[in-house]
Amino acid sequence: MDVLHQSPLDPDFVQDPYALYAQVLAGDPVRYWADYGMMAVFDAATVQALLRDRRLGRAVPEDQRAEVPPHLANFNVVEQVSMLDLEPPHHTRLRGLVLRAFTSRRIKALEPDIHAICDDLLAGLPDGPFDLIPAFCTALPVRIIARLLGVPEEMSDQLLRWSNAMVAMYQAGRTHETELAADAAATAFTGFLTGYIEDRRSAPRDDLITHLITAEEQGETLSHAELIGTCILLLNAGHEATVHTLGNAVKALLEHDAPLTALAPDTITATVEEVLRYDPPLHMFTRYAYEDIEVGGHPVAKGQQVALMLGAAGRDPARYDHPNHFDPSRTPTPHAAFGGGLHFCVGAPLARLELQIGLARLFEHAPDLRLVDPPRYANSYHFHGLTGLRVTL
Domains of the chain: total:
1
Residue 299, pLDDT score: 97
CB of 391 closer than 8 Å to CB of 29? no
Residue 102, pLDDT score: 83
Q: In whole angstroms, what is the distance from residue 237 CA to residue 241 CA? A: 6
Residue 256, pLDDT score: 95
Q: At 82, which amino acid appears?
A: S
Range of the domain at 106: 3-392
CB of 168 closer than 8 Å to CB of 178? yes
Residue 235, pLDDT score: 84
Q: In whole angstroms, what is the distance from residue 314 CA to residue 44 CA? A: 7
* 114 contacts: CB under 8 Å, gap ≥ 6: 140, 144, 353, 354, 357, 358
**HEC per residue, the chain:** CCEECCCCCCHHHHHCHHHHHHHHHCCCCEEEECCCCEEEECCHHHHHHHHCCCCEECCCCHHHCCCCCHHHHHHHHHHCCCHHHCCCCHHHHHHHHHHHHCCHHHHHCCHHHHHHHHHHHHHCCCCCCEEHHHHHHHHHHHHHHHHHHCCCHHHHHHHHHHHHHHHHHHCCCCCHHHHHHHHHHHHHHHHHHHHHHHHHHHCCCCCHHHHHHHCCECCECCCHHHHHHHHHHHHHHHHHHHHHHHHHHHHHHHHCCCCHHHHCCCCHHHHHHHHHHHCCCECCEEEEECCCEEECCEEECCCCEEEECHHHHCCCCCCCCCCCCCCCCCCCCCCCCCCCHHHCCCCHHHHHHHHHHHHHHHHHHCCCCEECCCCEECCCCCECCEEECEEEC
Residue 87, pLDDT score: 94
The model's pTM: 0.94
Comparing CA positions, the residue from 219, 200, 202, 224 lying closest to residue 210 is 200
> Domain of 218: which CATH number?
1.10.630.10
CB of 230 closer than 8 Å to CB of 98? yes
Residue 217, pLDDT score: 65
Radius of gyration of the chain (CA): 21
Q: Cβ of 182: how many Cβ atoms within 10 Å? A: 25
| pLDDT, tens digit only, all 393 positions of the chain | 999 999 999 999 999 999 999 999 999 999 999 999 999 999 999 999 999 999 999 999 988 988 899 999 999 999 999 999 999 999 999 999 888 888 888 899 999 999 999 999 999 999 889 999 999 999 999 999 888 888 888 888 898 899 999 999 989 889 999 999 999 999 999 999 999 899 998 999 988 899 888 887 667 888 999 999 999 998 888 778 899 999 999 999 999 999 899 999 999 999 999 999 999 999 999 999 999 999 999 999 999 999 999 999 999 999 999 999 999 999 988 999 999 999 999 999 999 999 999 999 999 999 999 999 999 999 999 999 999 999 999
Q: What is the dihedral of CA 54, 58, 62, 65, to 10 degrees?
A: 160
